[in-house]
Copies of this chain bind each other. A is one copy, B any other.
């Protein structure tokens, strides 16, 4: 089993692990086919049923996987005794109802991000899963990329020293969503990564933004205040002519740039910094700049979704709690709710 830096699961009790984990997948639009393809490639795992309401999606399933059961009714899938675990790969507003039904039918669940539309739903699902001793994994795929794992390792080794800031830019043209704004669409990536890397809980959020086209914000900026003067900032934008996936992480000892669009050198670590050597009054303040080598570590090249799903199956089999469990999903949803509240007030400080 792959070992992650997981919190201990207080609800974990013994459960007999199945020899083979059989999945039902709900939603076969853009992301669903990737989930199915990766599940199919795993050992001790199978996909036995797929549900989608669209006839063309059903046709695609039948062509690619003639032996898999297909249905337009998610509840039929969930009631099937053939199914051990359910993957919910549908729009966010459907997550709560589908995830709840799956849990009530005794299935472990893998839910697309963001986990739910609000915190109350997430809390209810977490409690229900705990009561029934079922696993919940929220699809924070980025945590399983070579880049994020490498950064986490560097932070664990305190390579950057005391953290100063986390600043991410995630902009491109489209893809416009029909039911959520750019914050709920793009920021869950950054919020889940940040939550995993910083390992502290932000205290408050300030969000600003503007809506131009379809009634939802298409440009937005989030600031998150953490304890001990760590500040995080996200820039998300559906109206950028260029695609940018860039994160700066500044620390006392070193600083890091993660450019996810680079093919080979995604992470660059700079031996650069500033030290204040004397504080006898403002005008006697002495600032030393340090500028040394840059280093781009080799990054593991594995498909993140494959590793994530393998880890989910391991968690089920070994009755372990995943790092990206319902509580991790809840933390992200709470930040999204607070950001929405702040956006409505044009940038007021909203405590978490």
Binding site for B on A (CB under 8 A): 164-165, 167, 169, 171, 173-174, 176, 178-179, 204, 206, 208-215, 219, 221, 223, 225, 229-231, 233, 235, 237-243, 248, 250, 255-257, 261, 263-265, 270-274, 276, 279, 282-283, 285, 287, 289, 291-298, 345-349
Contacts and interface: CB of A to CB of B under 8 A. Distances in A.
Nearest to A257: B242
A295 B294 contact: yes
B210 A178 contact: no
Given A213-B276, A295-B295, A346-B349, A241 B221 contact: no
A241 B223 contact: no
A283 B242 CA distance: 27
Nearest to A239: B250
Number of copies: 4
Given A206-B208, A289-B174, A241 B219 contact: no
Given A235-B167, A294-B265, A345-B349, A241 B257 contact: yes
A257 B173 CA distance: 13
A241 to B, nearest CB: 4
A214 B347 contact: no
**A-B interface, 3 closest residue pairs, ranked by CB to CB distance from nearest:** A206-B347, A241-B270, A241-B255
Contact of A347 (B243, B270, B274, B348): B348
28 contacts: A164-B210, A164-B212, A165-B210, A167-B219, A167-B235, A171-B248, A173-B273, A173-B291, A206-B208, A208-B233, A210-B225, A213-B274, A214-B282, A215-B282, A219-B233, A221-B221, A221-B223, A221-B233, A237-B248, A239-B255, A240-B255, A242-B270, A261-B263, A293-B295, A345-B349, A346-B349, A347-B347, A348-B348
